[in-house]
């Protein structure tokens, strides 16, 4: 499957000029399980790094890793991002940079994945899923168990893009924690959270305008994959994963939520 993704562009590079930037001394790679807030995390980090040190050449994934090795050149530190599954090649490539890994509660991930697959933003040879002939429960089950020989299942994606990186020195970020502190930027807890999160950039003390920078990067209008910016979602997606599908997630990937910190 070779999907095409049509997402709106942003003007964050221009907004970056509103803030004084400190050059990176070591490269940073923002890794993620797909549909876990990748663009949100990336856009926040972009407000704290000079544009010329942001690697915009590609959204790095395993098949494109060989042609993007410049993103990890220690002589020219860059902020880069993508979905890079765990492997010997990936680990070697990232050995010179700091890595941040963002994950999401698998229950909510199923809904986010379904919403994306059923939108016109995502275009692949799966348009029959948008025909209306399948009910939403069938779609959700496909997000959990995959589609035979066409779409990988939840366990496979979380295993190779997320769990396999744990215990290797990556900085783990949970999407829900990020959202919680974004919604409470004036609190001391949020300041402590973003001080820790952004320390991977070599920032020891947040700049005085850190809240404005974070809010600018987190502006949902700047993200083509934010829920409200997806084009024409064909089904109504429930706000909470139904009980039956929760049980199926636990069956398909036992222990997954626990190892990621979701109880």
More confident: 47 or 227: 47
From the CA atom positions of the chain, what is the Rg in Å? Answer: 18
Measuring CA to CA, which residue among 47, 63, 12 is closest to residue 222?
A: 12
**Average pLDDT of span 178-189:** 97
The encoded tokens of residue 24 equal: 């990176």
- What is the per-residue pLDDT for 5? 44
- What is the per-residue pLDDT for 256? 98
Q: Residues of the chain with pLDDT > 70: what percent?
A: 89
DSSP state of 183: T
Q: Are 110 and 33 in contact (CB under 8 A)?
A: no
**Average pLDDT of span 174-187:** 97
Backbone angles phi, psi at 194, to 5 degrees: -75, -25
**pLDDT digit string (tens) for 161-170?**
999 999 999 9
| Cα–Cα distance measured from residue 196 to residue 201, given in angstroms and rounded to the nearest whole number | 10
Residues in CB range of 185: below 8 A, 6 or more apart:
211, 214, 215
Residue 85 has pLDDT above 60, yes or no: yes
Residue located via tokens 């923002």: 30
**pLDDT digit string (tens) for 30-69?**
999 999 999 999 999 999 999 999 999 999 999 999 999 9
Residue 216 has pLDDT above 90, yes or no: yes
């Amino acid at each position: 499957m070779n999907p095409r993704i049509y997402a709106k562009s942003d003007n964050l590079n221009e907004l970056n000029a509103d803030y004084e930037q400190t050059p990176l001394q070591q490269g940073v790679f923002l890794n993620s399980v797909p549909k876990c807030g990748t663009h949100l995390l990336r856009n926040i980090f972009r407000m704290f790094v000079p544009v010329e040190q942001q690697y915009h050449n590609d959204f790095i994934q395993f098949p494109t890793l060989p042609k993007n090795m410049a993103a990890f050149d220690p002589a020219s530190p860059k902020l880069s991002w993508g979905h890079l599954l765990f492997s010997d090649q990936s680990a070697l490539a990232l050995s010179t940079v700091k890595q941040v890994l963002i994950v999401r509660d698998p229950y909510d991930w199923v809904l986010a994945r379904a919403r994306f697959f059923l939108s016109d933003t995502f275009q692949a040879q799966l348009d029959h899923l948008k025909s209306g002939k399948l009910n939403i429960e069938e779609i959700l089950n496909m997000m959990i168990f995959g589609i035979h020989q066409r779409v990988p299942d939840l366990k496979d994606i979380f295993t190779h893009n997320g769990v396999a990186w744990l215990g290797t020195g990556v900085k783990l970020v949970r999407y829900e924690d990020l959202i919680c502190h974004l919604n409470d930027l004036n609190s001391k807890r949020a300041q402590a959270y973003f001080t820790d999160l952004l320390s991977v950039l070599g920032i020891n003390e947040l700049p005085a305008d850190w809240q404005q920078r974070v809010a600018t990067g987190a502006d949902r209008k700047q993200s083509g994959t934010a829920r409200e910016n997806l084009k024409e979602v064909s089904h109504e997606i429930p706000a909470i994963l139904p009980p039956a599908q929760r049980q199926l997630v636990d069956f398909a990937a036992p222990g997954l939520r626990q190892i990621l910190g979701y109880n």
